[in-house]
A and B are shown apart, each in its own frame.
Chain A
């Protein structure tokens, strides 16, 4: 095992997949000469040349659509959208076309492409650059939406996304790029076949008092919460969703059946958010096992402010999630440390 950053895991895995498969090309704004706004594509232009590393104009609908068309002819484009906020410009191509082409043509052609895109608040980027709008894509049958939280997940899930025959939205939270974690020694080898199964959640920490469910950056925060509460003798089981579509309900429902309580933490807005779907699924799958209502900790429902104290207050934190867990447990008379 070696310890690397989330950014490094993405960069090395992307390169390895390009070495492995001639059909893999990368496209996007500033990914070549500039080497990527977040440096995920650093070095790729020098190594693979402009045929396989294509700088695009600032025209998201045009180049995302072009990637879809290229995928229909068997290429495997990996598109970088500089931020998920810009995906809104391309949303017609993603939802009306990438997601539908396999179905509306009766399975005659598929769209084997990946859209990698970072998002999330906490960087003082203001209202239009701090959003987590993965809900839009997670709502759509035909798309696959992945949200890895650790370097090891990022590597095996990116490999899975590139080798998958369907369009995959690959979400990277800005707050994760510099986080570190263990990866297998051969994570960057082109012959590495450690491919994650798309559509599986993971219990990343076992516990007995309550289930805490998160994804992407919030899965990482959830682990911090669990570690903190462990010192107060509260045993938190953490579920990392990893895949928002398909959604692995069974894993978190089984966890809730074991613990009897659940808190969901999410980096998106509360109303209609991912957490609403999780909570509804728990109700449908584990109602009889619940000792308390399911709680959701989500972003404040405001356009994200720029000022640091306001932005910090708008985001879920270790403290706010811990409070929600304690309140849930005390409501049913469980010990709260």
Chain B
């Protein structure tokens, strides 16, 4: 029987994607997966779901400020993608980063504390929702400018290549990103310099409120690598095992062949672009699609596990309770974490301190007597 009380293990506890190469576990079957492993995926997806729901709740209670972009509906992509990476592989994401941060191995309590803007947050309250970062787990940041992370991730892959390392960089983005200049420049440079990087496009069909068809002359996004001789693959992002296997294969090829790849993962964003977006641009049909059970990766997986006899009612309740408790623990931690001390306001402008750095508070004179 699976240990359902275990916390999300984080990347460090996970096995390498290499082990799974060549195995066929694509949808709809569950293949020869071990029940404990399947339940672990289920639990981790559910954890992100409940964490994000709690986040939305805290946001509407004004406990969280700023913007808040959730992974609701994209949990299978998040879990499958990160499960395929080695702990020493690097991840760059866009602003929809909470789930990725947790799956890369970051402490959910510190992720929640960052959302609350507290001193115990991963970035000490300096980043907020869009800027989760952790050197230890090699989550090298969520970025708020669409596509801003692409050149950075390419540069990280350059550093790996420069040092002759065998780590891989995974660079996540949304479908809207594929039309900006930095996309073209980064893919070109990555191929030109043979860099070990997998560009991952989460295609939820809508860049804010604009559909892929309205914004992309080639809406088959995985094909867009061909302009750079980058192999592109599309995967069903609702299927955690398919995402895992496809990612694992591309990551290992990037590692061995020292060359970039492009992965497009379909998924259905269940809410608006951010917590405050009622998504009025969506038609009734689009809403039905986004909310359909067959497009919900957790409902889908739950049904499969139940059918296979892996997930009993009792076990489901057990997992639900433990996830709920752990999310509550994260929220409590965030609530009880202190606000950053105002005296630290000038601590993070420069890594190498300099004389004459302006440290004025508003209304302070430039030259105090």
Contacts and interface: CB of A to CB of B under 8 A. Distances in A.
Among A51, A77, A93, chain B packs the most CB atoms within 10 A around the CB of: A93
Contacts of A243: 356
Contacts of B160: 73
Contacts of A249: 356, 366-367
A207 interface: no
Contacts of B121: 106
B266 interface: no
B152 to A, nearest CB: 4
Interface stretch (B137-145, B230-238, B296-304, B329-337): B137-145
A66 B154 contact: yes
Interface stretch (A182-190, A195-203, A311-319): A195-203
A269 interface: no
B245 to A, nearest CB: 28
A109 B141 CA distance: 10
A214 to B, nearest CB: 18
Contacts of B367: 249-250, 253, 284-285
Interface bracket on A: 35 or more
B124 interface: yes
B185 A57 contact: yes
Contacts of A284: 365-367
A68 B123 contact: no
Contacts of B366: 249, 281, 284-285
B189 A59 contact: yes
Contacts of A54: 193
A70 B159 contact: yes
Interface in B86-145: 92, 121-127, 131, 133-135, 140-141, 143-145
A246 interface: yes
A145 to B, nearest CB: 12
A65 B124 CA distance: 25
Nearest to A59: B185
A151 interface: no
A141 B162 CA distance: 30
Given A61-B151, A61-B181, A73 B133 contact: no
Interface string A158-183: 00000011100000000000000000
B219 interface: no
B354 interface: yes
Contact of B347 (A56, A107, A108, A199): A107
B182 A68 contact: no
Interface residues of B, number: 52
Nearest to A281: B366
A112 B159 CA distance: 13
A292 to B, nearest CB: 20
Given A62-B186, A200-B355, A249-B356, A105 B158 contact: no
A105 B126 contact: yes
B35 interface: no
Nearest to A103: B348
Contact of B153 (A69, A104, A197): A69
B338 to A, nearest CB: 14
Classify the interface of chain A: helix, strand, loop or mixed: mixed
B155 interface: yes
Interface string B36-51: 0000000000000000
A164 to B, nearest CB: 5
A97 B357 CA distance: 20
Interface in A41-92: 51, 54, 56-57, 59, 61-75, 77, 92
A96 B355 contact: no
B26 interface: no
A326 to B, nearest CB: 29
Contacts of A101: 141
A141 B347 CA distance: 12
Interface in A206-224: none
Contact of B123 (A61, A65, A77, A105): A105
A105 B145 CA distance: 15
A227 interface: no
A38 interface: no
Interface string B158-197: 1110100000000000000000011001101100110000
Given A66-B186, A75-B159, A109-B140, 13 more contacts: A57-B192, A62-B181, A64-B151, A69-B154, A69-B155, A73-B156, A73-B160, A97-B152, A110-B351, A200-B356, A246-B356, A247-B356, A249-B356
30 contacts: A54-B193, A59-B185, A61-B182, A62-B188, A63-B185, A64-B151, A65-B152, A69-B152, A69-B154, A69-B157, A93-B148, A96-B148, A102-B349, A103-B126, A103-B348, A103-B349, A104-B126, A104-B131, A104-B133, A106-B123, A106-B348, A109-B135, A112-B351, A165-B351, A165-B352, A197-B355, A200-B356, A249-B367, A281-B366, A285-B367
Give the 6 A-B residue pairs with the shortest CB-CB distance, closest first: A65-B151, A69-B155, A62-B185, A110-B351, A66-B155, A106-B124
